[in-house]
């Protein structure tokens, strides 16, 4: 009897070690490059130029960085060393005015701003001059409920993370509805459903990446709409955690100049870097000492520097690849 | 005479206060650290008739809702509003302003 108990115990132990080993190998990958180095931060809480009150989005055009300064209801522009250049936007709901700008995208010579409170996408020239507005409040095709992010493809079509409508919409440049991912107003992890999508990005091949916020995962769809990749914890099934390639609420996503995918992993206070296919490459960030968290949006420059909108500390972080 | 003046002032101030007063609701909600969540709750309350202002106290996990004079919300209504934003209200306290 004792022999059987020992054998069964040994079998259970062996199985446990095997499962832990497989889990470690497949779902906790190691970094593929040297650690990133934090080289600079700038900002701090306030209303003066160069200060922030809850930065929530970041984008880059040439040698200029655009930051959503959400509670100050403005966009601020800096050079790559953090020197303030200009700002625009004022609180309101008239064309050109802002209310809680979130994730940003730059396409050509235009800045696209997802406006959480005004339920629309606003488009500005890089000089800050208002050009047009797309969408209005609602849940019909082309309408929005608290858009969190936007991407633009080579044809000028928009992809909008329609946060409270639980979908990502593809819209023509004039705002006409084309199609959507997710089921309007229905959350879920299966059957193509989303769970509070926060941001989107599109690469040069036309692959759409969705930050499926509260499902703690990334979904990648080809130009025909088919699912190509998904990742984030075991089976990308809304299992959150602090390990490499796991997430705890993804709030921002962007594609770097070399096609890498950068994800703001908010509750883990870090950015994670992946290949276009979702293979883990690296992770870096500043742990939060505040009641809230740090990395909310991210963008990579041509020279490999990575800029992070740091929500908890009301600042921008600048990172560079390690040697 | 001074006593009458004093009583009159106190009465007027007191009356004025009660005319201006609304209600302050402190709602305990988990998960306010993410601005997508906090802004969503804030936005929903701002669009609710009778709400004068909304504050988010992340440190204490509170949504503080101040109403205009004469407007009061039932607990069920507040629970529904929080539910609609994808969250659950853990508890609430009500204070006159």
pLDDT in tens, A67-89: 999 999 999 999 999 999 999 99
Q: Does B17 have pLDDT greater than 70?
A: no
**Residue ranges for chain A with pLDDT beneath 50:** none
In whole angstroms, give the CA distance from residue B53 to residue A193.
34
A with B: how many residue pairs have Cβ under 8 Å apart?
45
- pTM comes to 0.90
Interchain CB distance below 8 Å, B33 and A292: yes
Q: Point out the residue among B58, B85, B86 whose CB comes nearest to the CB of A292.
A: B58
- State yes or no: ipTM above 0.85: yes
pLDDT of residue A287: 93
The answer to whether the CB of A318 falls within 8 A of the CB of A40 is yes
Q: Which of these, A66, A223, A197, A218, lies nearest to A144 by C-alpha position?
A: A197
**Residue B25 vs residues A35, B65, B71: alpha-carbon distances, Å:** 47, 5, 11
For A195-198, the CB contacts below 8 A with 24+ separation are A195/A166, A195/A238, A196/A163, A196/A164, A196/A166, A196/B36, A196/B86, A197/A148, A197/A161, A197/A162, A197/A163, A197/A166, A197/A167, A197/A168, A198/A103, A198/A148, A198/A149, A198/A161, A198/A163, A198/A249, A198/A250, A198/A251, A198/A252, A198/B36
The torsion angle over the Cα atoms of residues A174, A180, A184 and A186, rounded to 10 degrees, is: -150
Mutate to test the interface with A, among B28, B37, B39, B48 (most CBs of A within 10 A): B39
The radius of gyration computed from the CA coordinates of chain A, to the nearest angstrom, equals 21
A124 against B70, higher pLDDT: A124
pLDDT of residue A140: 98
How many CB atoms are closer than 10 A to CB A48? Answer: 9
Task: Name the residue in chain A with its Cα closest to that of B34.
Answer: A292
In whole angstroms, give the CA distance from residue A138 to residue B16.
40
Q: How sure is the predictor about B8, in pLDDT bands with cuts at 50, 70 and 90?
A: very low
Averaged pLDDT, B39-46: 94
pLDDT of residue B85: 86
Q: Point out the residue among B33, B39, B85 whose CB comes nearest to the CB of A293.
A: B33
Q: Does B59 have pLDDT greater than 60?
A: yes
Residues A236, A241, A244: CA angle, nearest 5 degrees: 80
The residues on A that touch B, with CB distances below 8 Å, are 54, 56, 70, 100, 102, 116-117, 146, 148, 163-164, 187, 196, 198, 213-214, 249, 251, 266-267, 291-293, 296, 311
pLDDT of residue A101: 98
B17 against A308, higher pLDDT: A308
Q: How sure is the predictor about B3, in pLDDT bands with cuts at 50, 70 and 90?
A: low
Which residues lie closer than 8 Å to B21 by C-beta, 6 or more apart?
A: B69, B96, B97
pLDDT of residue A270: 98
Interchain CB distance below 8 Å, B34 and A266: yes
**Residue A274 vs residues A244, A283, B26: alpha-carbon distances, Å:** 10, 9, 42
pLDDT of residue B14: 41
Q: Does B83 touch chain A (CB under 8 A)?
A: no
Residue A148 with chain B: CB contacts under 8 Å? 36
3-class DSSP assignment, residue B71: coil
Summary mean pLDDT of chain A:
96
Q: How sure is the predictor about B10, in pLDDT bands with cuts at 50, 70 and 90?
A: very low
The answer to whether the CB of A212 falls within 8 A of the CB of A205 is no
Residue B86 with chain A: CB contacts under 8 Å? 187, 196, 214
pLDDT of residue A24: 64
Averaged pLDDT, B42-61: 93
- What region, left, alpha or beta, does residue A116 occupy, with left being phi > 0 and alpha being psi -120 to 50 degrees? alpha
The answer to whether the CB of A42 falls within 8 A of the CB of A78 is yes
CATH topology for B21-96 is Alpha-Beta Plaits (3.30.70)
The answer to whether the CB of A91 falls within 8 A of the CB of A127 is no
The answer to whether the CB of A266 falls within 8 A of the CB of A213 is no
pLDDT of residue A305: 98
Q: Does B16 have pLDDT greater than 50?
A: no
Q: How far does the CA of residue B89 sit from the closest CA of chain A (Å)?
A: 18
Q: Does B36 touch chain A (CB under 8 A)?
A: yes
Q: How far does the CA of residue B45 sit from the closest CA of chain A (Å)?
A: 12
Mutate to test the interface with B, among A196, A197, A248 (most CBs of B within 10 A): A196
Q: Does B70 touch chain A (CB under 8 A)?
A: no
Residue B59 with chain A: CB contacts under 8 Å? 291
pLDDT of residue B11: 46
């Amino acid at each position: 009897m004792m022999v059987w108990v020992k054998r069964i115990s040994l079998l259970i132990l062996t199985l446990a070690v095997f499962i832990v080993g497989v889990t470690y190998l497949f779902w906790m990958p190691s970094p593929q490059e040297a650690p990133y180095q934090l080289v600079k931060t700038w900002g701090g809480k306030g209303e003066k130029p160069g200060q922030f009150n809850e930065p929530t989005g970041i984008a880059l055009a040439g040698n200029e960085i655009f930051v959503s300064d959400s509670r100050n209801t403005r966009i601020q522009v800096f050079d790559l060393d953090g020197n303030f250049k200009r700002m625009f936007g004022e609180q309101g709901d008239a064309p050109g005015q802002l209310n809680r700008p979130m994730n940003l995208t730059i396409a050509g010579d235009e800045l696209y701003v997802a406006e959480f409170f005004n339920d629309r996408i606003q488009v500005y020239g890089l000089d800050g001059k208002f050009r047009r507005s797309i969408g209005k409040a609602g849940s019909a095709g082309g309408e929005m409920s608290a858009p969190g992010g936007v991407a633009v493809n080579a044809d000028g079509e928009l992809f909008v993370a329609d946060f409270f409508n639980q979908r990502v919409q593809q819209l023509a440049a004039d705002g006409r509805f084309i199609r959507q991912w997710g089921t309007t107003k229905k959350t879920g992890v299966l059957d193509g459903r989303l769970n509070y999508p926060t941001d989107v990005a599109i690469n040069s091949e036309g692959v759409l990446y969705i930050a499926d916020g509260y499902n703690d995962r990334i979904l990648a769809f080809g130009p025909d709409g088919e699912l190509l990749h998904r990742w984030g914890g075991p089976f990308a099934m809304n299992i959150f955690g602090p390990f490499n390639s796991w997430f705890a609420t993804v709030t921002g996503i962007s594609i770097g100049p070399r096609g890498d995918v950068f994800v703001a992993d908010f509750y883990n206070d870090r950015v994670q870097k992946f290949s276009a296919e979702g293979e883990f490459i690296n992770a870096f960030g500043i742990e939060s000492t505040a009641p809230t968290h740090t990395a909310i949006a991210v963008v990579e420059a041509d020279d490999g520097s990575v800029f992070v909108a740091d929500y908890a500390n009301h600042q921008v972080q600048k990172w560079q690849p390690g040697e | 005479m001074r006593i009458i003046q004093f009583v009159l002032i106190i009465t007027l101030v007191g009356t004025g206060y009660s005319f201006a007063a609304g209600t302050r609701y402190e709602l305990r909600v988990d998960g306010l650290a993410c601005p997508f969540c906090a802004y969503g709750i804030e936005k929903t309350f701002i669009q609710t008739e009778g709400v004068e202002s909304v504050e988010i106290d992340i440190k204490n996990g509170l949504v503080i809702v101040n109403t205009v004079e004469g407007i009061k919300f039932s607990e069920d209504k507040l629970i529904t509003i929080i539910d609609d934003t994808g969250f659950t209200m853990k508890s609430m306290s009500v204070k006159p302003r």
